Structure 1
Amino acid sequence: MRIEVDDLTRPAVVGLLAEHLADMHATSPACSVHALDLTGLRDPAVTVWTAWDGDTLLGCAALKRLSADHGEVKSMRTASAARGRGVGATLLAHLLAEARRRGWTRLSLETGSQDAFGPARRLYLRHGFEPCPPFADYTDDPNSTYLNRLL
């Protein structure tokens, strides 16, 4: 598996991110969807990585800088055909290593509280994330679960 910084111009990546947003809107009320669109992912505070097997896109993940020592996991998504192959775990390990390299001491994330997000919550908990209160601009929301990990 090859992981690389992505410029969000390749059709496969744009398609995977569109699928991600569509799923978020299908499983959560609009006011509780915090996934970034392409414009949000192109913000200078955000870096996106994609995972590939040859020319096949396996997944994507992003980090958003919140402060000098705090970042947020954004847009974690595994392509449907690649699920169950460890893509999410590999991308998350990459994000954790990158956050440490950047000198961050904390990494946070928001994910859904609904059953559809159970696999994501289990992935994050297996990698040392713990429940936390809302962070950054988030507020209490019954449709959201907030997690963080000290690095």
Structure 2
Amino acid sequence: MGGVGKTTLTKKLYNDTHVKTHFESCAWISISQEYGVRDLLQNIINCYMVLSEEDLKKVEKMDVIQLQHKISVYLREKRYLMVLDDIWTNQKWDALQDAFPDMNNGSRVVLTTRNKDLALHADAQSQPHELGFLNEEES
């Protein structure tokens, strides 16, 4: 459900000093339903990498597979944190996940979603953290 605090909680964790020092590279992408996969991958590149004008032009000409590969190569040797905020569909996750290498080095991809099935699809080994409503005293 929207408005229960998924993004707010994730932002608190993302901006925590201990979290920032644990990861070499951190990026936050807010996803809307209208974003295309290619646009999302280009945004991820822009969050992680500082590119020259020439390299930016090359990135603009890349297809989805090339963009995934560029991100994966860049992140392979790093401990990274990637937050994909408000992801809606399994298909979008499936198209993005190959960009994030799992090198067993403590890197993490965090998804916020209203869709529990998507969370389970993304990682069947982990139980999603579901936020419930706060009562008046808690809020």
The structure carrying a bigger strand percent of its residues is: 1
TM range (shorter): 0.3 to 0.5
The structure carrying a bigger helix percent of its residues is: 2
Structure with higher Rg: it is: 2
Relative contact order, higher structure (CA 8 A, sep 6+): 2
Q: Normalising by structure 1, what TM-score?
A: 0.33
Q: Normalising by structure 2, what TM-score?
A: 0.35
